[in-house]
Amino acid sequence: MKIGLLSAVRGLALALLALPVSLVLFIFSVVFFAVTFPIGFLTFPLVVGLVRAYANARRRLAHAWFGVEIKEPYKPRPRFRRGLTGLFQRYRWVVADPATWRDVLWLILDATAGFVLGLIAFVLPMYGPYGWVLAAGVWKPIVDAGGGDWYTFIHVMNQDDANKAAMLGVVYAVIGLWLAPRLTRASSLLSRGLLAPTRERELQLRVAHLTETRSDALDTQAAELRRIERDLHDGAQARLVAMGMSLGTIEHLMDRDPERARRLLTEARESSSKALTELRDLVRGIHPPVLAERGLGDAVRALAMASPLRTEVSVELPGRLDAPVESAAYFAVSEVLTNAAKHSGAQRVWIDIRHEDGRLRIVITDDGRGGADAAGGTGLRGIERRLGTFDGVLALSSPVGGPTMVTMELPCVMTSPRR
Amino acid sequence: MRVVLAEDLFLLRDGLIRLLEAYDFEIAAAVDNGPELTRALLTLKPDVAVVDVRLPPSFTDEGLQAALHARREFPGLPVLVLSQHVEQLYARELLADGSGGVGYLLKDRVFDAEQFVDAVRRVAAGGTAMDPQVISQLLARNARNEPLGGLTPREREVLELMAEGRSNAAIAQRLVITERAVAKHTSNIFGKLNLPPSDDDNRRVLAVLAFLNGG
């Protein structure tokens, strides 16, 4: 009932929007393209800009009102040169993009079919109450004035006819309310046919996305390898060299100066201890042992235990995740926790990890002062890039005054159930 | 004293066997994987087991799981767990049943043969041997919190040694102070942490760790 009414009203709103705006924009597009030289050359890109803004608004509306998701199909805007060349480039950019023409087609479709569907969605359920109005006595003045209203197939001339009209009105209302959400949805789906990226365009977009995330992934990986190389070179490797030297000296001193040899031995053992500690820290940074041994849930619990903040962890994972996803998720959580401890002034943190509908979902909430900004260089960008490699996304909600909530989602499958 | 040993790296297993035999332990079994460890623990019921956390075939925490499993069958079965890294999480799991006879040490500790053998004996006797790293991690995390922050540096030192499972006498020797001074420190610590005092070394450790985990 409520959904039906809401859809009817939204249908009307859409119809009222579609007829003037879509029609006017359609005419503008056609006219300004037709008079290419010299005015259209300048103005057509502007009109297309308007069309795109309007189409984008309608894309969002289709999602918000009717649950039909429509992605943007446009080619990315290149950098234009100044002056006349730039104008020409701009003109080429809009004309060469098939999405422009699909938008124009959609405008005329929306102004006609979209308009009609929206109108029916509204009028049909409203026609029912009109029958009731007739039955309530309005039929009389109409007949008195020499008229005689046709309610569908009923010629309303007396109260009896009007009652029948009222009953038919109930049927109209019921059918109308049932039909309204379906009609508006159908209209949105119709729009999607033209507003959504074509299969080809979608693949292009996907390739662009993959190229970008792949180069990000390679950059991060290369940087990681460089860091590991440096750590090994300056750390464990150097200590082993020192140890080897000490041992050589000890061999030499053993008979002549046993006391000094013993001192050097102690030093060598300390050196080996330090080398081990350094290797341990390095390994923790590459792939924490607890993650390898226990999986994401317990690894995050171990993180929580080590965090200076009071951290509550709840995990719902039926098995182990793919190792690369596990690792990415772990380091993301680690980074967010570190951020919370450093910047948020929070006392407590809640971490929720679950796997639903083929997606890993991690929500981290703190009771800090909020105001965190993904663009503020607090490491969130880095996490976003890292997750991007796995088609994962990060959403940040951090109003000033808190709380801060970081939500991460990664598509992934579970592998072997735990033990 | 009969020992079951589980370590998958041949060199290390060999070294441990030689070390333990040099200190008059009898090696009842030396295995290199999880299933065999479980079988050895359940059938041989050794006086103490020395177990590497990570073992084949899965190379996850097979060793730890086998140890925990055996301790469910035989509560208090002394187990000393060795690892390349220490995790509070595992320490808590090992201590959870409260029956003592548990050790958890970094593999590096084997370098100091005397201390390592001392730890094995302590665990076999039903005591505890927690790696100093576990304790320092705990203290580092809780350093800012009351009431741990209220401890004097000396008391923190005593607490660390206590949590490793050392007796008052051992602590006194280590810090070069009198046993009476240690006793005074411990009672101060118990007072500040609201722990009921007790004579039993092992229960002291459990109480301290329970407090630290809960904190």
pLDDT of residue B202: 64
**Is 3.30.565.10 the CATH classification of the domain at A292-417?**
yes
Integer Cα distance of A97 and A198 in angstroms: 12
pLDDT-derived band at B212 (thresholds 50, 70, 90) equals low
What is the 8-class DSSP label of residue B110?
Answer: G
Q: How many Å lie between the alpha carbon of B181 and the closest alpha carbon of chain A?
A: 31
Residues 142-161 of B with CB under 8 A from A: 144
Write the Ramachandran bin of A400: left for phi over 0, alpha for psi from -120 to 50, otherwise beta. beta
Whether the CB-CB separation of A175 and A82 falls below 8 Å is answered with no
Asked if A306 has any chain B CB less than 8 Å from its own CB, the reply is: yes
Number of CB atoms found within 10 A of residue B113's CB: 13
pLDDT of residue A66: 82
The tokens for B132 are 């100093």
Integer Cα distance of B215 and B202 in angstroms: 20
Asked if A301 has any chain B CB less than 8 Å from its own CB, the reply is: yes
Cα torsion B12, B15, B21, B27 to 10°: value is 30
Q: At residue A401, what are phi and psi to the nearest 5 degrees? A: 100, -5
Asked if A282 has any chain B CB less than 8 Å from its own CB, the reply is: no
Q: Determine how β-strand A348-356 pairs with β-strand A359-366.
A: antiparallel
Asked if B111 has any chain A CB less than 8 Å from its own CB, the reply is: yes
Integer Cα distance of A30 and A108 in angstroms: 11
The tokens for A160 are 């009896």
The tokens for A270 are 């300390």
Question: Considering only CA atoms, which of A77, A73, A76 is closest in space to residue A102?
Answer: A73
Question: Which among B87, B111, B141 has CB closest to A273?
Answer: B111
Question: Considering only CA atoms, which of B141, B162, B147, B155 is closest in space to residue B189?
Answer: B155
C-beta pairs of A51-56 under 8 Å, 24+ apart in sequence: A51/A25, A51/A100, A51/A103, A51/A104, A51/A107, A52/A103, A54/A21, A54/A22, A54/A25, A55/A103, A55/A106, A55/A195
Give me the amino acid identity at B211.
F
The class level of CATH for B2-130 reads alpha beta
Whether the CB-CB separation of B187 and B197 falls below 8 Å is answered with yes
State ipTM.
Answer: 0.80
Q: At residue A260, what are phi and psi to the nearest 5 degrees? A: -70, -35
Integer Cα distance of B72 and B97 in angstroms: 9
What is the 8-class DSSP label of residue A80?
Answer: P
Integer Cα distance of A99 and A101 in angstroms: 5
Asked if A341 has any chain B CB less than 8 Å from its own CB, the reply is: no
Closest chain A residue by Cα to residue B143: A308
Asked if A96 has any chain B CB less than 8 Å from its own CB, the reply is: no
Residues 6+ apart with CB under 8 A from B98: B206
In the β-sheet with A348-356, what is the strand arrangement from edge to edge? Answer: A310-316, A348-356, A359-366, A404-411, A393-397
CA distances, B214 to each of A302, A394, B30, B206 (Å) = 14, 32, 37, 12
Helix (H) or strand (E) run with residue A15 in it: helix A2-17
In A67-158, which ranges are continuous DSSP H helix? Answer: 83-96, 98-109, 115-133, 139-144
Residues 6+ apart with CB under 8 A from A284: B85
pLDDT-derived band at B140 (thresholds 50, 70, 90) equals confident
Contact B61 A293 (CB under 8 A): yes
Integer Cα distance of A342 and A364 in angstroms: 15
Half-sphere exposure of A418 toward its Cβ, with a 13 Å CA cutoff? 17
Integer Cα distance of A292 and A276 in angstroms: 19
What is the 8-class DSSP label of residue A378?
Answer: S
Give me the amino acid identity at A139.
W
For residue B54, which residues of chain A lie inside 8 Å, CB to CB?
289, 293
**B141-154, pLDDT tens digit by residue?**
766 565 677 788 88
> Mean pLDDT over residues B74-81, rounded?
92
Q: Can you give the length of chain B in residues?
A: 215
Q: How many Å lie between the alpha carbon of A284 and the closest alpha carbon of chain B?
A: 9
Paired with A410 in beta bridges are A360
- Summary count for chain B: helices (H), strands (E): 10, 6
**B11-56, pLDDT tens digit by residue?**
999 999 999 999 999 999 999 999 999 999 999 999 999 999 999 8
Say if residue B108's pLDDT is above 80: yes
Annotate A291-340 with DSSP letters as a single string: HHHH-HHHHHHHHHHHSSSEEEEEEE-SEEEPHHHHHHHHHHHHHHHHHI
For residue B84, which residues of chain A lie inside 8 Å, CB to CB?
280, 283, 289
The tokens for B193 are 């942490």
> Mean pLDDT over residues B76-103, rounded?
87
Contact A269 B111 (CB under 8 A): yes
Asked if B176 has any chain A CB less than 8 Å from its own CB, the reply is: no
Break chain A into its structural domains and give their ranges.
2-195, 208-286, 292-417
Residues 26-65 of B with CB under 8 A from A: 53-54, 59-61, 65
Question: Which among B59, B65, B108 has CB closest to A273?
Answer: B108
Write the Ramachandran bin of B166: left for phi over 0, alpha for psi from -120 to 50, otherwise beta. beta
Look at residue B128 and give its three-state secondary structure: strand
The class level of CATH for B134-214 reads mainly alpha
Look at residue A162 and give its three-state secondary structure: helix
Cα angle A259-A260-A261, degrees, rounded to a multiple of 5: 90
Q: At residue A12, what are phi and psi to the nearest 5 degrees? A: -60, -45
Integer Cα distance of A348 and A368 in angstroms: 8
What are the pLDDT tens digits along chain A (419 aa)? Answer: 677 778 888 888 888 888 888 888 888 888 888 776 667 777 888 888 888 989 898 888 888 888 888 888 888 788 888 877 888 888 888 888 888 888 888 888 888 888 888 888 888 888 888 888 878 877 777 777 777 677 777 777 778 888 888 888 888 888 888 888 888 888 888 888 888 888 888 888 889 888 988 888 888 889 889 989 998 888 888 888 888 888 999 988 988 999 999 999 988 888 888 888 889 988 888 889 999 889 999 999 999 888 888 889 999 998 888 888 999 999 999 999 988 888 888 889 999 999 988 899 999 999 988 888 776 655 788 888 888 888 898 988 888 887 889 999 999 877 755 44
Say if residue B121's pLDDT is above 80: yes
For residue B60, which residues of chain A lie inside 8 Å, CB to CB?
292-294
pLDDT of residue B17: 94
Whether the CB-CB separation of B89 and A298 falls below 8 Å is answered with yes
The tokens for A329 are 């998720």
Q: At residue B87, what are phi and psi to the nearest 5 degrees? A: -125, 130
Q: How many Å lie between the alpha carbon of B61 and the closest alpha carbon of chain A?
A: 5
Integer Cα distance of A310 and A329 in angstroms: 20
Contact A302 B88 (CB under 8 A): yes
Give me the amino acid identity at A412.
C
Q: How many Cβ pairs within 8 Å bridge chains A and B?
A: 44
Closest chain A residue by Cα to residue B61: A293
Asked if A193 has any chain B CB less than 8 Å from its own CB, the reply is: no
**B166-181, pLDDT tens digit by residue?**
888 889 998 999 999 9
pLDDT of residue B47: 94
Residues 103-132 of A with CB under 8 A from B: none
CA distances, B122 to each of A100, A176, B52, B200 (Å) = 80, 83, 18, 13
Integer Cα distance of A271 and A104 in angstroms: 74
Per the listing, tokens 């029948």 go with A164
Look at residue A359 and give its three-state secondary structure: strand
Break chain B into its structural domains and give their ranges.
2-130, 134-214
Whether the CB-CB separation of A79 and A88 falls below 8 Å is answered with no
Residues 6+ apart with CB under 8 A from A401: A369, A370, A371
